Amino acid sequence: MELKKDSNSVSIDMLLIVHSEKRRAAQGAHSDRQADPGALLQRRGGLQGIGNGLRRWQKLEGNELHGNLAEKQHPQQTQIITSYDNQGTQLTVEVHPRDAMPQLLKKFSLAKCLQGDKNGNTRPRQPGGKDAHAYPWDRSSLKSMPLDLRQFEKLDTYASQVTVKSGLDELVSDLLQEAHSDLERVRAIWIWICHHIEYDIEAAQEKDRQAFKPTDILRTQKTNCDGYAGLFEKMCRIAGVQCMTVPGYSKGFGYQTGQSFSGEFDHAWNAVYLDGRWHLVDSTWGSGLVDSATSKFTFLYNEFYFLTHPALFIEDHFPDNKNWQLLKPPQSLRQFENNMYHKSEFYNKGMLSAHPETSMIKTVNGKAMVTIESCAPTLFMFMLNGKQEHGLLSLRKNGMKLEVYPPTVGTHKLQIFAKGNSDIYSSVLEYTLKCNYVDDTVQLPAELHQPVGPSWFSEQMGITKPSHPHPIIHTSDGRCSVSFGVEEGISVLASLHGDDGLITEETQRRYIFQLQREKRTELKVQLPHAGKFALKIFVKKRQEAGNYIFVFNYLLCCTNTKVNWPMFPESFGNWGQDNELLEPLTGVLPANRNVPFKLKLHGIAKALVKGQDTWPLTLNSEGYWEGSCSTAGCQEVYVMVLENANHNFYSYILKYKVNAQ
């Protein structure tokens, strides 16, 4: 047989002729001359493993094969079935009556553009240089073509509400009522599938994945990834848009950081041909997610997997044919396995890059560090082995920095979450930490929450120009003073937390004394002993009801074992934020002593100190109330004020304890 080649074609050197079943049995009550060629193929084992390993069964629906099949059938006549794999290889099967001569014993070739199918679709060239995008990602866009998602708002709403009336053809026809271009046709199909087809977890976990007919998918509204891809391809072809199903490996449900891939492909997605170029979509992952704890599927639309930029798509999709990466240069399977996996939410929430760029991190001197760059200010949090402990996370204007100190030698799971524009933190990164050394000098308080140190967020919440911009404060004598500007109408609350139990919930604020100096708040802190402490800062709008909101905390460190500061005096509700206490600052007074008092109090008619007796305070020329009090014969001392000279009711504002004799 002479096979001619030219510059625009590829010769095929295989011809498969399939005779009817009757040929194998001389007798029988039924003739197979009109046998369904699809059923015949299924009896022979199906079109399994064509080309580069599309490892799934191809089945017929009605008179058409599911997949990339173009078919001609004539009753009582020769039937020809032509199939194309992902490489463009053509496999033709001829089914004819027993005594008929084969009509396909002739040369044939596959040109760059094939003849149209029954819907008038033409098959463009395989992906090449024109389709390739540069790797790594250039940060220009999450999409492979310029898109303004606002242009789809009306179409998306319409497509998501279309219901199935009869068959697939009518469904596609209804969807295209509001679509006026190939891009809009693809978009309408994508939106409908993502909002109506549920992921069939049981079917996905079967060892031998079954092929889903489009009619079955429409009836049950459930399928696996092969079904999603097959349905998407079928609907696109009905709509007159070129589409291919692409099998491969994925970092999806059940993926473990750093795992290797081999054997059967575990996923399938699509490539669509728009504006003279191939683009990638994954309607399975666009429709929702599977909860790893409950193994239940939840519809949760994900825009990321519609026309995804190939340099981002390759992070969790590795096709069987490297050409379908649409990348220059293409990545190897080993690179795919080792490269950092940024979840779709990483990009959805505005992240640009992360360091380290590998999923496995080894600690250095007991510490691992992760940084993330984002295109806008973003809130982050982390978990180490499921707990928000053993790390310092500080926010930056465009990203964050995280220092992690694993508490034990071994392997640890580090998860990083980002908030973005939503009210929900979503997982964006996962690392595996390998720690071979623990720094015992670094023991962070369990109550040290995130973030640490002031940032754009604290400024947004009304705290400005902090005296200590760095999150860690070292003190040699166990005392420190922190100040910052406070916007009008904002109240500040602070508390101190350690891990030894000496600081109880009742005394968390007694080691901090808060002073107001003009438009700045000062926090005087005295530590009860050496160690590490979390100084938490909360804010609240004075005119609004509700609780204080946590903003950030400092890490206070003191190595001086001689430190043993007492608590500050207890303050009551009438202690105004603009008041100032100069002395005594200690909350415990010596017994049988005359103790001087000096305070600045605003809007006060009279002030006094009450122990066993009462001592009035006088207002000096500098605006301070001064005086002294004897602690003899008493256990407690109070500072009291009279706000209205026409009344005789004094209010308690400060309380001191007196040491036992």
Indicate if 282 belongs to the active site: yes
Residue type, 653: I
Tokens of 533: 């402490």
Which of 50, 133, 68 shows the shortest CA–CA distance to 325?
Answer: 133
| Alpha-carbon span 403 to 452, nearest angstrom | 11
Q: Which of 85, 282, 316, 320 is catalytic?
A: 282
* DSSP code per residue over 92-114: EEEE--TTSPPS--S--EEESSP
Helices (H) and strands (E) in the chain, counts: 12, 44
| Alpha-carbon span 20 to 174, nearest angstrom | 40
Q: Phi and psi for 29 in degrees, rounded to 5?
A: -80, -20
Residue type, 467: S
Q: Phi and psi for 513 in degrees, rounded to 5?
A: -120, 125
Rg (the chain; Cα; Å): 37
Parallel, antiparallel or unpaired: strands 198-199 and 222-223:
parallel
Which of 249, 257, 263, 385 shows the shortest CA–CA distance to 325?
Answer: 249
| Alpha-carbon span 289 to 194, nearest angstrom | 11
Parallel, antiparallel or unpaired: strands 360-362 and 426-435:
parallel
**375 DSSP 8-state letter:** S
| Alpha-carbon span 205 to 203, nearest angstrom | 5
Which of 310, 287, 316, 312 shows the shortest CA–CA distance to 300?
Answer: 287
Question: Within 10 Å of residue 526's Cβ, how many Cβ atoms?
Answer: 23
Q: Which of 96, 267, 279, 309 is catalytic?
A: 267
Handedness of CA 184, 188, 194, 200 (dihedral sign): negative
Cα pseudo-dihedral 273, 139, 137, 233, rounded to 10:
-20
| Alpha-carbon span 364 to 176, nearest angstrom | 58
Place of tokens 């709509």: 239
| Alpha-carbon span 220 to 197, nearest angstrom | 9
Count CA atoms closer than 13 A to 398's CA, side-chain side. 7
Place of tokens 């400024």: 459
Residue type, 602: H
Three-class SS of residue 562? coil
* DSSP code per residue over 472-531: EEE-SSSEEEEEEEE-TTEEEEEEEE-SSSSS-TTTTTTTEEEEEETTEEEEEEE-SSSE
Q: Which of 194, 225, 236, 634 is catalytic?
A: 225
Indicate if 267 belongs to the active site: yes
Tokens of 454: 């002031």
Tokens of 83: 């199939």
3-state secondary structure 114-151: CCCCCCCCCCCCCCCCCCCEECCCCCCCCECCCCCHHH
Tokens of 621: 């020329």
Place of tokens 């605006």: 623
Indicate if 6 belongs to the active site: no
| Alpha-carbon span 617 to 636, nearest angstrom | 18
Tokens of 239: 């709509």
User: Catalytic site residues?
Assistant: 225, 267, 282
